[in-house]
Amino acid sequence: MVFSILSTKLFIPTIAPDVIHRPHLVEQVTEGLKAGHFLTLVSAPAGYGKTTLLAEWISTHQGQVAWLSLDEQDNNELRFWIYFVSALQTVSQSSGQKALKLLESAHDFDSQIFLTELVNDVAVLDHKIILVLDDYHVISNQAIHSGLVFLLEHLPPSLHLFIATRADPRLPISRLRVRGKLTEIRISDLRFTSDETSEFLNDLMKLGLDKADIQALETRTEGWIAGLKLAALSLQGLANTHSFIQAFTGNQQYVLEYLVDEVLQRQPEVFQRFLVETSILERMCAPLCNAITESSDSVNILAELNRRNLFVIPLDGEKYWYRYHHLFAEFLKSHLQRTQADDLPMIHRRAAQWYQSNNYPEDALRHAFAIPDYPYVSHLVLNNWRKIYHQGRLDTAVQWLETLPSNFIHQSPPLGVAYCWTLFVRGDYDRIALYLDDIMQVFEQMVALGTLPKEHPEYNIIRQQVVLLKAIILRHHGDVTSAMKEIELLIPTIPELDKTLGQTVVDMAYTACYSQLGYTYVAANDLVQAANYLSRVSPHARRCGNFLALAHATFEWVRISLLQGRIDQPERVCRQELALADQPEFADYPAFCLIQLALADVLIEKKSFEEAETLLRKGLETARKTGHVFYLAQGNLIAARYHHAQGKSTIAQDDLQKAEQIAESIHNHFLDEMIAQTRKELVSKPSPMQALIEPLSERELEVLRLICAGKSNQEIADDLFIALDTVKRHVNNLYGKLGVRRRSQAIIESRRLGLF
């Protein structure tokens, strides 16, 4: 998958030492499980202790419990179900493994197929799993709701769901209630009783209130735990608590707003300023807070806020990173907007500068866009886009550039060049020509006016980039001779860059020139020269960190090698380059999806279909998620060849059609040629399955694969979770289709046909 799983979303919350234990609610949840209910719904507004209750119940439960804390980003259907399965796997590694494979290859996600596989995966478990979905109210995607409805309607006995939410989810709650399959914990259950309110205010908060005042607070807050906590914080240090309590009125929304103001006013001035100014941060650490508040005491302030339970939540065991309670943060930001609106741009600028200095470019740009100061944003984009781009994170680079006003792209040669390279990776060469005219015109004006003299280091970088982009357009229009001349004139000038710009820029220049010259020789149908130049890219690309160019060049070189009938060397090269992805600092780079696709293509030729399928699935999914539509199209063509080799002609045609649909949107004639060649291969090159009397079914192919692996009928039955008699029936069927009588003959025939 492309995005990394954030492990803290799967952590079960710990119970604070000052919590009010609620054994009657714990027992209510336990009784629901004993009664065979398969959904426990904890539904109440914010601040009613839903998460705390579930954490307390888990601490008493002896079974296996998985946890998933949801947030707004989980409204993506694919992301939601990946996290769902990942949560299950925290307690049972085998849970949902087959279903997860469907997700990882889900360039066209079919939720019903995935959920059916998930139900089947979980149904065979010999133990029960409870999965808690916390903060489900953030989910608004109807497709996710529908998927959960399907899951609830087919839930196996081995899985029980807990849902904690501020609002009732769009699920068949009434039907589940009538069928006796639902445990409900609602506001009336979660409200603090008089005894719990007294215990909280007097035993924990040490306020020493009399019975009448406790009753008054309980009545006014209606047992709302967050309201009571805010009230208790406001009461601390007051001489006349009774007058405050008597004046304390209003519904929950206004009470919360009033109490937040009261809490802020009761804090030392340095704490007030700290709370308000750091409220813009999604997460915070002491050095970052020092930069935001221009102070040096944030370590102590964060520790004291945490000690006071002032809505500060540690995100790690070392208590280095924190966040505010979401509701508290919202009101702090509202207070900041009301009271210090003029200071907001400077506060965001401080955050952007800290994130930039500490190598968090995406956070830096988020705050820079919030200022908004587009010249400053442009400066940050230029400082960061190349690194993001070289990693293959095209979607992020495009988002940054396309969020800028369009005139910034057209009127700034560095930004225009950056945007054109994103168009190159997307295969959208026609639009490069539209931008390049403006880039060249502005560039020439800057040189003529002396704002960018030829002696300036930036002059040579932009000039080189413009020449390469011009060569791409010439190549796209069929003028490969002129394209070659443009690039060949650049190569002798590259060593001069070392004097003013350093070795890294030299390597970047060689990487770009060798790559583009290689692609141009491909367009000229001189595959020998093309392979020669593409093979030179790797050492330079590695040194300058341009892994996207490395992957792109490797992909194209492998394609040439296969056309020339070479297999072994391309496989070695692919595995060597993919070894980079095993290094932690490169593990999440999407660029390597291209090499995965290239290696899959090689393995298809070798008929190593199992590994080819794995690589193909990963490469396609990464290309889809990160916006590499040009490579997604090429991956679909490889998928078409893979499925054709497997005898799955209908699926192969579907893959081909997906590539054709992408080609229609970007108008890239190189892609059109690849599609035409693949279409020709699918028609002219019969698949091994076409030589059979009758094609083998999917299940028969699975059985045959296990036979070739030396498995007995019983072992095959165990592996596929089917009856022994069913295996025997499949074996007899495939013997007939292969025209053989014995197991050894079936193995020989399957290898002759290239099935395995």
Asked whether residue 35 falls in the same domain as residue 113, the answer is yes
Percentage of the chain modeled with pLDDT above 90:
33
Domain presence at residue 552: no
What's the pLDDT tens digit per position in 611-660?
999 999 999 988 888 888 888 999 999 999 888 888 788 898 999 999 99
What's the pLDDT tens digit per position in 147-174?
999 999 999 988 999 999 877 888 888 8
For residue 572, the tally of other CB atoms under 10 A from its CB is: 11
Asked whether residue 111 falls in the same domain as residue 163, the answer is yes
Query: How high is the pLDDT of residue 225?
Result: 80
Q: Which of 35-39, 273-277, 346-350, 706-710 shows the lowest mean pLDDT across its residues? A: 706-710
In the chain, the number of structural domains is 7
Cα distance between residue 49 and residue 226, in whole Å: 8
Does pLDDT of 251 surpass 50? no
Residue after which a domain boundary falls, among 308, 340, 372: 372
- 3-state per-residue secondary structure call for 367-402: HHHHCCCHHHHHHHHHHHHHHHHHCCCHHHHHHHHH
Asked whether residue 27 falls in the same domain as residue 176, the answer is yes
Does pLDDT of 250 surpass 60? no
Domain presence at residue 516: yes
pLDDT category at 249 given cuts 50, 70, 90 is very low
Residue after which a domain boundary falls, among 338, 372, 406: 372
Asked whether residue 88 falls in the same domain as residue 157, the answer is yes
Domain presence at residue 484: yes
Asked whether residue 129 falls in the same domain as residue 75, the answer is yes
Domain presence at residue 737: yes
pLDDT category at 253 given cuts 50, 70, 90 is very low
Does pLDDT of 297 surpass 70? yes
Domain presence at residue 302: yes
Cα distance between residue 252 and residue 191, in whole Å: 13
Q: Which of 255-259, 317-321, 729-733 shows the lowest mean pLDDT across its residues? A: 255-259
Asked whether residue 112 falls in the same domain as residue 21, the answer is yes
Residue type at position 51: T
Asked whether residue 273 falls in the same domain as residue 239, the answer is no
Asked whether residue 309 falls in the same domain as residue 385, the answer is no
Does pLDDT of 27 surpass 80? yes
Does pLDDT of 296 surpass 70? yes
Asked whether residue 18 falls in the same domain as residue 150, the answer is yes
**Residue carrying the six token digits 């070795």:** 503
CATH code where residue 173 lies: 3.40.50.300
Asked whether residue 244 falls in the same domain as residue 186, the answer is no
Task: State the residue range of the domain holding 140.
Answer: 7-190
- Mean pLDDT estimate for the chain: 85
* Contact call for residues 304 and 315 (beta carbons, < 8 A): no
Q: Cis bond leading into 686, ω under 30°?
A: no
* Contact call for residues 51 and 134 (beta carbons, < 8 A): yes
Cα distance between residue 457 and residue 642, in whole Å: 48
Residues 6+ apart with CB under 8 A from 183: 28, 29, 31, 32, 33, 35, 37, 39, 40, 41
Asked whether residue 360 falls in the same domain as residue 459, the answer is no
Residue, of 47 and 609, whose pLDDT is higher: 609
Asked whether residue 307 falls in the same domain as residue 423, the answer is no
Residue after which a domain boundary falls, among 484, 512, 546: 546
Domain presence at residue 647: yes
Domain presence at residue 557: no
Query: How high is the pLDDT of residue 66?
Result: 94
Domain presence at residue 338: yes
pLDDT category at 597 given cuts 50, 70, 90 is very high
Does pLDDT of 325 surpass 70? no
Query: How high is the pLDDT of residue 686?
Result: 58
CATH code where residue 613 lies: 1.25.40
